[in-house]
Amino acid sequence: MKKSLLLLFLVVILATFPLITQKGTEFGGADGKAEEAIIEIQPDYEPWFNSIWEPPGSETESLLFALQAAIGSGFIGYFIGVMRQKNKQATQEKEEKASHVTH
């Protein structure tokens, strides 16, 4: 338990450190960097297609990204929990079979 709390604390520190030390900077996504690189390499490039829907603001885009991350984290956590429970049950069944054989 202490190890998990220590790891969680370290993750929080690592995540907030850049936000504290880099004042006045904007943390953009990979999409913006890719677009800048493409325009720099080939200024007359035209995309193959346009987005079906453009979010009304950066807040909405951030909200959708956070929602996607939360759903993904929930799925991964659920999957890990199910697998641990299956493993635990299999171990208990093996122990029960071993105890029945010895009696």
For the chain, the structural domain boundaries read: 56-103
Tell me how far apart the alpha carbons of residues 63 and 9 are, in angstroms, rounded to a whole number: 24
What local confidence, expressed as pLDDT, does residue 14 receive? Answer: 87
First to last CA, the chain: 37
pLDDT at 33: 84
Task: Give dist(CA 35, CA 28) in Å, integer.
Answer: 12
DSSP state of 44: T
Residues 20, 12: Cα–Cα separation, whole Å:
12
pLDDT tens for the chain, 103 residues long, are 788 889 889 988 888 887 777 776 666 667 778 888 999 999 998 888 888 888 787 788 888 888 999 999 999 999 999 999 999 999 999 888 888 776 6
